[in-house]
């Protein structure tokens, strides 16, 4: 048993300690506060964004997509060719300028270069009608992206409205609305899309001539209509599920117990949670829509010539595949790049923002 006196310095033993009696004074409140290191709290949004930007793939795809959009927007300003414009030299149609390989010039163009004129290079070559392929691919990408985004917005709007009404109303109305959803859901979508595209294409006939939509062609408009008719069901189910979950959730109960009104409940509690899930679902809907559009274009139900879309360009390239493989490669790469980037971005968003996945 050892004596523990502050006056004597104890012998050094391996596990002994020297303690200063002054240390046995009570600690002050501020000292205790410093002692307790807490993790900084952040909002849900900031936390999610931080996680998103830590994800290299997601950041990469975001960059790729932004670059793509920039190129698509500004390329037509740089490249002096139109997507339906047949190459001309000195105002005359150049018949030798068809099916040129990338970065080559036709005979007539070569002549005019030698004569001192400037001819903008055909970066991707030309197609069988002598149109600059690069600008066609750019426009094709534009169309594909617009179709993808537009279709997703249609799906979002209809699905959101339908789902929230159904979810919040509850009761018989909810059951009836969901019955309809079940029926539509069980229809095989691609087949119906094809069918309705064919039909609507004929039904619309010439009624769209002269309107904004004429350039897209009946097939595209039919596709939008079909999307509006069929594809919103997934989103509606998702939204309804979210609303139901939260309606019955404890913290809504708690808010109500504190006297909050319905509107406030919806705004403050329900919406922020739903938003992340809905946003992610929409982001992942875009590549799916682009997929569908290129698929339809590939089997001949796509945009009307001469307007290109990546899918229709791929389809046109098929017949001359052995001879001019580059005509297939560029639109194919375009589709893959866009779809891949959106998928990666969507995955990244999901990893960062989905509340269920948070550890």
Residue closer to another protein by CB (options 33, 128) is 33
Does residue 335 interact with another protein by CB under 8 A?
Answer: yes
Does residue 97 interact with another protein by CB under 8 A?
Answer: no
Does residue 177 interact with another protein by CB under 8 A?
Answer: no
Q: Which tokens go with 94?
A: 């150049």
Compute the least distance from the CB of residue 4 to another protein, in Å.
5
Compute the least distance from the CB of residue 299 to another protein, in Å.
5
Phi and psi dihedrals of 136, rounded to 5?
-70, -40
Q: How far apart are CA 313 and CA 310, in angstroms?
A: 5
- Residue range at the interface with another protein (CB under 8 A); choices 30-38, 119-127, 265-273, 276-284: 30-38
- Scored b (16 or more CB within 10 A) or e, 200-218 reads bbeebeeeeeeeeeeebbb
Angle at 31 between CA 28 and CA 35, to 5 degrees: 140
Q: Which of 344, 345, 349, 352 binds another protein (CB under 8 A)?
A: 344
Contacts (Cβ under 8 Å, ≥6 apart) of 70: none
- Residue range at the interface with another protein (CB under 8 A); choices 13-21, 140-148, 232-240, 244-252: 13-21
- Residue range at the interface with another protein (CB under 8 A); choices 71-79, 271-279, 289-297, 348-356: 289-297
Question: Per CB under 8 A, which of residues 184..203 are in contact with another protein?
Answer: 186-192, 194-196, 198-199, 202-203
Q: Which of 63, 66, 69, 183 binds another protein (CB under 8 A)?
A: 183
Does residue 9 interact with another protein by CB under 8 A?
Answer: no
Q: Please check whether residue 228 is in contact with residue 158, taking contact to mean a CB–CB distance below 8 angstroms.
A: yes
- Residue range at the interface with another protein (CB under 8 A); choices 19-27, 130-138, 156-164, 232-240: 19-27
3-state secondary structure of 271: helix
Residue closer to another protein by CB (options 131, 350) is 350
Does residue 60 interact with another protein by CB under 8 A?
Answer: no
Q: Which tokens go with 128?
A: 């069988």
Residue closer to another protein by CB (options 249, 343) is 343
Does residue 11 interact with another protein by CB under 8 A?
Answer: no
Q: How far apart are CA 323 and CA 100, in angstroms?
A: 11
Compute the least distance from the CB of residue 71 to another protein, in Å.
19
Does residue 47 interact with another protein by CB under 8 A?
Answer: no
Does residue 35 interact with another protein by CB under 8 A?
Answer: yes
Task: Give the count of alpha carbons within 13 A of 58, CB side only.
Answer: 19
Does residue 2 interact with another protein by CB under 8 A?
Answer: yes
Contacts (Cβ under 8 Å, ≥6 apart) of 112: 89, 90, 119
Task: Give the count of alpha carbons within 13 A of 26, CB side only.
Answer: 2
Does residue 229 interact with another protein by CB under 8 A?
Answer: no
Number of residues that bind another protein (CB under 8 A): 66
Contacts (Cβ under 8 Å, ≥6 apart) of 265: 252, 255, 256
Angle at 147 between CA 145 and CA 148, to 5 degrees: 65
Q: How far apart are CA 313 and CA 100, in angstroms?
A: 16
What is the binding site for another protein (CB under 8 A)?
A: 1-7, 13, 15-17, 19-27, 31-33, 35-39, 183, 186-192, 194-196, 198-199, 202-203, 205, 287, 291, 294-295, 298-301, 314, 318, 321-322, 325, 328, 332, 335-336, 339-340, 343-344, 347
């Amino acid at each position: 048993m050892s004596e523990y006196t502050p006056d004597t310095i104890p012998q050094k033993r391996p596990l002994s300690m020297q303690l200063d009696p002054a240390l046995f004074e009570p600690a002050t409140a501020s000292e205790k506060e410093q002692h307790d290191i807490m993790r900084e709290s952040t909002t849900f949004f900031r936390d999610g964004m931080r996680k998103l930007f830590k994800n290299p793939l997601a950041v990469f795809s975001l960059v790729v997509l932004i670059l793509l959009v920039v190129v698509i927007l500004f390329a037509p300003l740089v490249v002096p060719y139109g997507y339906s414009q047949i190459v001309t030299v000195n105002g005359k149609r150049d018949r030798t300028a068809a099916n040129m390989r990338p970065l080559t010039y036709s005979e007539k163009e070569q002549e005019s270069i030698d004569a001192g004129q400037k001819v903008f290079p055909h970066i991707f070559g030309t197609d069988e009608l002598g149109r600059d392929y690069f600008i066609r691919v750019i426009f094709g990408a534009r169309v594909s992206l617009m179709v993808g985004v537009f279709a997703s917005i249609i799906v979002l709007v209809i699905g959101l409205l339908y789902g929230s009404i159904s979810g919040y109303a509850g009761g018989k109305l909810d059951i009836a609305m969901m019955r309809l959803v079940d029926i539509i859901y069980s229809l095989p979508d691609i087949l119906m899309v094809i069918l309705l595209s064919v039909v609507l294409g004929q039904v619309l006939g010439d009624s769209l001539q002269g309107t904004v939509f004429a350039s897209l062609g009946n097939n595209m408009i039919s596709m939008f209509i079909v999307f509006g008719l069929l594809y919103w069901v997934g989103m509606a189910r998702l939204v309804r599920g979210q609303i139901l979950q939260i309606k019955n959730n404890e913290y809504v109960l708690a808010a109500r117990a504190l006297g909050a009104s319905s509107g406030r409940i919806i705004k403050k509690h329900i919406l922020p949670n739903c938003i992340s899930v809905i946003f992610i679902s929409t982001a992942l809907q875009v590549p799916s829509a682009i997929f569908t559009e290129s698929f339809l274009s590939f089997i001949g139900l796509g945009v009307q010539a001469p307007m290109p879309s990546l899918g229709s360009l791929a389809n046109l390239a098929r017949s001359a595949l052995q001879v001019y493989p580059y005509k297939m490669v560029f639109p194919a790469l375009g589709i893959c790049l866009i779809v891949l980037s959106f998928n990666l971005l969507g995955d990244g968003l999901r990893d960062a923002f989905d509340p269920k996945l948070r550890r």
